[in-house]
Amino acid sequence: MLHAVQICFVTGLWTRSQSLRHFQPNHRCRTMATKRKSALKGEGAAAAGEEPPAKSAKASKGRAAAAGADGAKDGRRRCDWLTGNDALYNAYHDEEWGVPSRDDQHLFEMVCLEGAQAGLSWLTVLKKRDAFRARFHAFDIDKVAAMSGAEIEAALQDASIIRSRAKLDAFVANAKAAQSIQKEHGSLAAYLWSFVGDKPVQNAYKKLSEVPCETAVSKEMSAALKKKGMKYAGPKIMYAFMQAVGMVNDHTVGCLRHQQVRDMSN
């Protein structure tokens, strides 16, 4: 979605090696599309009607470059998973990925989009994000939780989004789970951030191969969220989510954003 860029980003973006890795995105410091696809197997294969994932490591060779290498044609040093030939992807990396977020609506959106990325590239999700927002009430938790079967059926006919019934049904299930979490913990943000002690984890990876695609914390978060009814919330997807929303700073040390994101936590 890939963004355990996710580095385990879900492959395109936000997957990654060592296991996978968003960008997020999955974003993200991920490794190669083929490894991402393999790592996400079991967490949700692409359903009928979805765009196919990247076909080869060649398409993701930018992510396999040495740490600190130019991550874009503009010569700016970015994370290795960024191929650098797409302005939308570059902007996501430079402006969103890894920025700490404590907004319930945004966190809910990222949980859903990271799950939607399963089996696909994060760039595919990014290109469809505005369409998803239009179709799913800008990811307003209460409005998505109240969506009817007829609305989901209509969404399945919309070619501008990822047309997977399982993934779209998961949006509704996740919204209902988020409502339950808000009632119990005060906010979705308070609950999710509690897994990292309410403070971003500052990593200092020098190269993509060092970035994990899942951790003990993402496994704990995954198990807890699944117990509460969330779907497409496996440990790799949740690590990509954690990377995307700044719960962990996985910008490699040679990336222009590493210190900038670190400073946001001080």
Quick: pLDDT tens for 110-142.
999 999 999 999 999 999 999 999 999 999 999
How many domains is the chain partitioned into structurally? 1
In a domain, 145, yes or no: yes
Q: Mapped to the 3 state alphabet, what secondary structure does the chain carry? A: CCCCCCCCCCCCCCCCHHHCCCHHHHECCCCCHHHHHHHCCCCCCCCCCCCCCCCCHHHHHHHHCCCCCECCCCCCECCCCCCCCCHHHHHHHHHCCCCCCCCHHHHHHHHHHHHHCCCCCHHHHHHHHHHHHHHCHHHCHHHHHCCCHHHHHHHCCCCCCCCCHHHHHHHHHHHHHHHHHHHHHCCHHHHHHHHHCCCCEECCCCCHHHCCCCCHHHHHHHHHHHHCCCCCCCHHHHHHHHHHCCCEECCCCCCCCHHHHHHHCC
Q: Which residues are catalytic?
A: 92, 114, 122
**Does 94 map to a domain?**
yes
Q: What is the mean predicted confidence (pLDDT) over 163-180?
A: 98
112 assigned to a ligand binding site: no
By mean pLDDT, which of 33-37, 146-150, 179-183 is the weakest? 33-37
Average pLDDT over the chain, rounded to an integer: 80
5 found inside a domain: no
Within a domain: residue 12?
no
Q: Is position 106 annotated in a ligand binding site? A: no
pLDDT reading at 7 higher than 70:
no
Q: Is the residue at 131 inside a domain? A: yes
pLDDT at residue 93 tops 50: yes
Question: Does the annotation flag 3 for ligand binding?
Answer: no
Q: What is the pLDDT of residues 156-167, one digit of tens each?
A: 999 999 999 999
Is 258 annotated as a binding-site member?
Answer: no
Q: Would you say residue 104 has pLDDT above 60?
A: yes
Per-residue pLDDT tens digits for 60-71: 332 333 333 444
Mean pLDDT within 26-43: 40
- Domain limits at 35? 17-264
**CATH number where 69 lies:** 1.10.340.30
Does some domain include residue 80?
Answer: yes
Instruction: Answer yes or no: is pLDDT of 11 > 90.
Output: no
